[in-house]
């Protein structure tokens, strides 16, 4: 069953809510206060591996099993992700800061050494040492602002060992136990 969100008369008329108009810098700082897990999204359209770091990964639905992430529509990786029929979510471990940084860097071969990876099911690139892999078929794409929401239907998953890498206030970190 799909639910509709309630919309006020002002929202229906396109009027912004009170207090709208937050500046880009304040917006970034506010959202930076939210700690997030770090993943590398990988795919291999036409057999060529592509990948990118993301902190927007989240579960969407249990039935059917759906996950999602966002990608900037100006990203050089976006056309390849868009065209891929499947993708992998590599959940990075706390010791994989270098991998996260590498896949967030433009203009380099992200899969060249020192990146350790192998080809998994359906030719998907899988990052070695990840604490988990979630293998997905593309389910839906939705343009939202200057990003695209990519929704995947989970086809398989495997769990490694270790603790996840986190991102908070512009820095990578880990859980303290």
Residue 96: CB atoms within 10 Å: 25
Distance between CA atoms of residues 149 and 40, nearest Å: 15
Beta bridge mates, 150: 69, 141
Query: Sign of the C-alpha dihedral, residues 150, 157, 124, 88?
Result: positive
Helices (H), 47-121: 78-83, 97-103
pLDDT(20) > 70: no
For the chain, domain boundaries: 36-162
The CATH fold assigned to 36-162 is Pnp Oxidase; Chain A (2.30.110)
Q: What percent of the chain has pLDDT over 70?
A: 88
pTM of the model: 0.85
Residues 99-138 pLDDT 10s = 999 999 999 999 999 999 999 999 999 999 999 999 999 9
11 pLDDT band (50/70/90 cuts)? low
pLDDT(35) > 70: yes
164 pLDDT band (50/70/90 cuts)? very high
C-alpha to C-alpha distances, 86 to 9, 45, 62, 116, nearest whole angstrom: 41, 8, 19, 21
């Amino acid at each position: 069953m799909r639910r509709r969100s309630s919309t006020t008369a002002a929202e229906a008329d396109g009027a912004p809510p009170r207090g709208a108009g937050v500046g880009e810098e304040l917006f970034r700082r506010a959202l930076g206060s939210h700690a997030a897990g770090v993943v590398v999204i990988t795919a291999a359209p036409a057999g060529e591996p592509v990948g990118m770091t993301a902190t927007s990964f989240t579960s969407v639905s249990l039935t059917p099993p759906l996950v999602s992430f966002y990608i900037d529509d100006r990203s050089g990786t976006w056309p390849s992700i868009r065209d891929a029929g499947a993708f992998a979510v590599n959940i990075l471990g706390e010791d994989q800061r270098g991998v996260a940084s590498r896949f967030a860097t433009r203009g380099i071969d992200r899969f060249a050494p020192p990146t350790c990876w192998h080809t998994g099911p359906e030719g998907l690139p899988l990052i070695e040492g990840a604490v988990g892999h979630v293998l997905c078929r593309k389910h839906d794409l939705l343009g939202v602002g200057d990003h695209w929401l990519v929704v995947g239907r989970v086809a398989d998953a495997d769990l490694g060992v270790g603790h996840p890498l986190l991102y908070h206030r512009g820095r990578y970190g880990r859980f303290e136990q």
